[in-house]
Structure 1
Amino acid sequence: MNNRKGSNWIWGSFFIVCALLVVLNGLNVFSLTGFLWKIIVTLFFVLWFIESRQKKDTSGMVISGLVIFMMWKNVIGLGFLSIGTIILAGILLLVGIGFLNKPHTDHAPASRNVFVNDVDSDTLNVKGAFNSSSHYLRGSAVETVYITPSFCSMSVYLDQLTTKSGTLEVVVDAGFCSLNIYVPKKWKVHNEMHAMFGQIVTEGIPLPETEDKVYFKGDGNFSTVRILYI
């Protein structure tokens, strides 16, 4: 609750400042309209950086910092750096951070957004971008789970799911993220995922006699995907 109040305060202040700048622009206090909007956009990404830091969202900090750097690189004397070079450096930095991140073993980290995905259908969709989140999936007849994270840190818990036919298909489309997927030890994992400039690892040991089967499919590009038994 405190994090949400802090976030509301940050973004509320941002839009109030934007309103004041627009009024000052209308009164011709600022003669450089382009510079005014550059300040507003910079404020937006500065506040995004602050919020990401409060949530310990590394990807948000990196992306907002890179955008601010690209906007002001000429002012600080680094205009010779091309946009392509900066973007490539940012991608490599995110990949490196993804490799260094350790999976959280606690079920409800305080710094994350926590969601409970409860459905009656046979399909579940989990999405996330530019944030850190934990998703607890619930369902009594689920057949397919689609997980689509990008530029974020995400944990997905499958231990409260009941399959319809004893088989669950998990389709992952991950890009530039750290993804932890938790499965019950009584499930048999079949990993058919592919990774480009990333890694997919399975941690833990299943029970000697497993009940349901879970098939992991899809891609984890520039990402670290961990499948963990709990």
Structure 2
Amino acid sequence: MHKNWFWPVFLIASAVVLIVSQLGLFTLHVSIWSLLLTLILVAALISSLRYLNMPGVVFAIAFLAMIYAQPLGITKLVPWTILGAAVLLSIGLGLLIHPRYQYHYRYHNHDHAHYNQHNHDDVHESTSTINDDHVNLDLSLGNSIRYVHSENFRSADLNVSMAGAKIYFDDADIKEGQATINVDVSLGSLELYLPQTWQLQENLSNSMGHISSTGTPSTAGPGVILTGSVSLGELRIIYI
């Protein structure tokens, strides 16, 4: 079994950095909270670089720049300037460089179970099938793929923070005429794969994010209300 050494080594190194910093062996003096936040941002930066998640990379660097503005000599750049530049950079780089996902070839047996065959790209990510009429997902710091299998899908609450996620709803049936999908995307990217028969009604709050759709839905089918917010992230709706 392949062992992932990154997180154990990173956590051990972080503990060493915390101890050494409190002993006053660093020439750069920062508060314990700034140091903890730095470690979290560095972890997010490395994870985002691994999967080419451009919003995660850009905003991790932006927040690091704000924390260390004084030693970097960029105190004249107010936070809103840095965040504004980060939004433009993340959108621009996101259009040029797409997240590094695996390709999944999906087959259905008589019980509608999913079988995934990965390509030659050795990228590890969280993949699973959800068998529930009410879906609740909280995803952060990584890449995830979820297949929703439901005979009477009713609602979904999807929270994506500093991560990349793909959610497939093509194996979900709506029998009561209407369902609700609520999203909360911040510093990450979320892709929703919806059946073409679903009639989407969008009621989204967009705060310096990017929302787009691909494909054309049919003119008849169950209604789906899409609510929530996108903050410094990306939401893509793909009809399949």
Residue segments in structure 2 that go unaligned for 5+ positions in a row: 105-115
Shift of 1:195: 5.1
One-letter identity of the residue aligned with 2:72: I
**2:125 maps to what in 1?**
113
Alignment-derived partner of residue 139 in structure 1: 150
Aligned match of 1:225: 235
Contact 2:48 / 2:57 at 8 angstroms: preserved in 1?
A: yes
Alignment of 1:188-203 (within 5 A): 188-194=198-204, 196=206, 197-198=208-209, 200-203=211-214
The structural deviation recorded for 1:151 is 4.1
The residue that corresponds to 1:11 in the other structure is: 7
Whole-angstrom distance in 2 between the partners of 1:198 and 1:22: 34
* Structure with higher helix content: 1
Q: Are the equivalent residues in 1 in contact too, given 2:194–2:237 (CA < 8 A)?
A: yes
Q: Is the 8 A contact 1:95 1:176 kept in 2?
A: no
Distance 2:21 2:229 in 1: 46
1:64 matches 2:60: yes
Q: Which has the larger radius of gyration?
A: 1
Q: Percent identity?
A: 24
Aligned length: 221
TM-score using structure 2 length: 0.69
Residue matched to 1:30 = 25
Aligned residues: CA RMSD = 3.8
> Where do 1:42-121 residues align within 5 Å?
42=38, 44-98=40-94, 106-107=103-104, 111=123, 113-120=125-132
1:162-202 per-position Cα deviation (integer Å, ceiling 9, x unaligned): 334354332334345433211234x2323333353555444
2:190 to 179, 183, 186: 179
Aligned partner letter, 1:216: I
**So what's the TM-score if we normalise by structure 1?**
0.71
- Preserved CA contact (<8 Å) 1:172 1:216: no
Q: Which runs of 5+ in 1 are unaligned?
A: none
